[in-house]
């Protein structure tokens, strides 16, 4: 009985934590964990996302909620197909837009002078992404593009340009428009700078 109760308590804590993360993701980036620090403090080591000034930290949901005030987003979206669409699996197009957004942002926030470990992790991420992406045809297309033009992860500039060029290559293959691969334009689009 005690083991079951402990298991339930632990699972409940995880479920509560996961539910809370639906509203706000928190990442402890470059901060020592409690296990690695010699002394603990009473404050949390996780930064509040509202303290982050980068464009990638902004939440459009929070902006939307603020614009609707007390009525809330649900009052406006309640009678629409929004709820139904959010309960369906994402389409190939939705996955594609989300996937390219992740890749472009990943490259835009990549270090200007990455360490060997960061380079290795970037390549491992791309390799995993190209194998685990839910659209298997799309994943294969990305792998072929990566074989044709291997990822350039020597700098943020090279990585950002590689992602843009690869995105254009894939767009050409599927008959979509391409965009100029200019670092200033990419930074403005993906970093807000």
Same-domain pairing of 96 and 69:
no
Counted domains in the chain? 2
For the chain, how big is the Rg over CA atoms in Å?
Answer: 21
Packing angle, helices 156-173 and 183-191, rounded to 10: 90
**pLDDT of res. 175:** 93
176 assigned to some structural domain: yes
| Cα dihedral: 31, 32, 37, 39 (round 10) | 20
Cβ neighbors of 147 (< 8 A, separation 6 or more) are: none
pLDDT digits (tens, 9 = 90+) for 62-116: 655 665 655 555 555 454 555 666 788 899 899 999 999 999 999 999 999 999 9
pLDDT digits (tens, 9 = 90+) for 3-49: 433 433 333 333 333 333 333 333 333 334 343 344 444 444 555 65
Which of 57, 88, 119 is the endpoint of a domain? Answer: 88
Answer whether 46's CB lies under 8 Å from 28's CB.
Answer: yes
Same-domain pairing of 75 and 103:
no
| Domain CATH for 112 | 1.20.120.310
Mean pLDDT estimate for the chain: 74
**pLDDT of res. 193:** 86
Same-domain pairing of 54 and 111:
no
Same-domain pairing of 133 and 177:
yes
Of residues 157 and 7, more confidently modeled: 157
Helix (H, G, I), strand (E, B) or coil at 79: coil
Of residues 66 and 185, more confidently modeled: 185
Same-domain pairing of 61 and 150:
no
Q: How much is the average pLDDT of 182-188? A: 96
Burial class of residue 137 in the structure, from the number of CB atoms within 10 Å of its CB (0-12 exposed, 13-18 middle, 19+ buried): exposed
17 assigned to some structural domain: no
Same-domain pairing of 110 and 133:
yes
Same-domain pairing of 83 and 100:
no
| DSSP secondary structure of 108-174 | HTS-SS--HHHHHHHHHHHHHHHHH-SSHHHHHHHHHHHHHS----SSHHHHHHHHHHHHHHHHHHT
Answer whether 97's CB lies under 8 Å from 138's CB.
Answer: no
Cα of first residue to Cα of last residue in the chain, in angstroms, is 57
1 assigned to some structural domain: no
Range of the domain at 73: 47-88
Q: Residue 72 and residue 62: Cα distance in Å, rounded?
A: 10
23 assigned to some structural domain: no
Q: How much is the average pLDDT of 173-189? A: 95
Same-domain pairing of 79 and 100:
no
**pLDDT of res. 10:** 36
Same-domain pairing of 153 and 83:
no
Same-domain pairing of 83 and 97:
no
**pLDDT of res. 60:** 58
27 assigned to some structural domain: no
pLDDT digits (tens, 9 = 90+) for 111-149: 999 999 999 999 999 999 999 999 999 999 999 999 999
Same-domain pairing of 78 and 138:
no
């Amino acid at each position: 009985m005690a083991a079951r109760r402990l298991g339930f308590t632990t699972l409940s804590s995880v479920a509560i934590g996961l539910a809370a993360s639906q509203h706000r993701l928190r990442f402890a980036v470059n901060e020592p964990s409690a296990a690695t620090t010699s002394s603990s403090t009473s404050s949390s080591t996780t930064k509040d996302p509202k303290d982050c000034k980068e464009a990638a930290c902004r939440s459009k949901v929070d902006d939307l909620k603020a614009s609707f005030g007390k009525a809330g987003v649900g009052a406006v979206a309640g009678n629409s197909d929004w709820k139904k669409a959010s309960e369906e699996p994402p389409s190939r197009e939705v996955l594609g837009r989300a996937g390219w957004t992740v890749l472009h942002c990943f490259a835009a926030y990549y270090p200007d002078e990455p360490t060997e470990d960061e380079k290795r992790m970037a390549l491992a991420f791309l390799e995993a992404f190209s194998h685990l992406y839910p659209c298997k045809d799309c994943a294969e297309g990305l792998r072929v593009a990566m074989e044709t033009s291997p990822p350039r992860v020597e700098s943020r500039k090279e990585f950002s340009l590689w992602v843009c060029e690869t995105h254009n290559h894939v767009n050409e293959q599927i008959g979509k428009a391409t965009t100029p691969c200019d670092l200033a334009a990419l930074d403005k689009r993906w970093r807000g700078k």
